[in-house]
Structure 1
Amino acid sequence: MNVIRFKLTIITFLFSFLSNAQTINDDAFYILDKKHKDYILKPNVINNKTSKFRLYNRTEYENREKKILRDKKEGTFYNYQLYKRPKELIFRKVYGSKIEYIKSYDINSLNLVDYKWLQNNSWKEHNPNILFKDLYFLLKVDNDKYLKVKVKRTVIAY
């Protein structure tokens, strides 16, 4: 009885080890949309190069802007910091990574993720169960051309 139990334990251990060792996380790709219904995209541009991407919650961002405009008209505006900041996801370009262009027909072969996935998974910096190897943003620059930028995971939980 003990020998059978021992063999089952070893087999279970080896099986779990081998299955985890063969798990390969693919790169994840997200297509940025300047007119997305859920967020407002604000890239930071330094020396004509994108260094940071900020994705603000669209509803909160627009409500904040309306309040600021209203207060400016009424003469009660004092400082931007008095208004609640909208939720945001911040992604920085990986230093030294090469910015590439890819054709639109190459996108079908990529591991594309949606915005909900980005909100739920992109900030998990030290999560051992991370679902991707590297994260890339794709920004449409022409009818059939996308800018491919490798970004770091955000440190802000949405």
Structure 2
Amino acid sequence: MKQKIREWLRRYLPAELLSMAATLVGAWVALHATHSHLNAALAGTWAGNVAYFGYLLGQDVHQARQACHAHQRPYTRRTFGRNVRALAVEFGPAEVVDSLLIRPTLMYYLPRWTGSFGGGILLAKLLADVTFYVPAIVSYELSKKRLRNFGDE
């Protein structure tokens, strides 16, 4: 189990750190530009998503390129499609519920309830991450052999 936890931390922690910074910056910029807590909640959610999934897609493409190169195969558009499909399988259901309901709702209310914009945004992100990672990790584990094995194309 320790090995699995290390694998998940290597995969998700750098993306989480980038996402946290993007979430705070996106929410802060939107709040100061529009003076709307709703816009701040939505901007924070989507800025965090772009950073998070952009990093993971880049990481997956890099690993797939290495696997293809090791087997003397080209990295093609089809391979890129497999990378995107693997991310969709890994995160699809968790992301829909997270981005459209849980995360923006928490990011809207928690800064108000805590009396701290930055603290409320961070707390909202951490609480939303709990409901996000359980299905995401299960899907990741289920998709590894079928969608992430680029040496057997």
Structure number with higher strand proportion: 1
TM-score of the alignment, normalized to the shorter chain, above 0.5:
no
TM-score class, shorter: under 0.3
Higher relative contact order structure (alpha carbons within 8 Å, sequence separation ≥ 6): 1
Structure number with higher helix proportion: 2
Q: TM-score normalised to the size of structure 1?
A: 0.27
Q: TM-score normalised to the size of structure 2?
A: 0.28
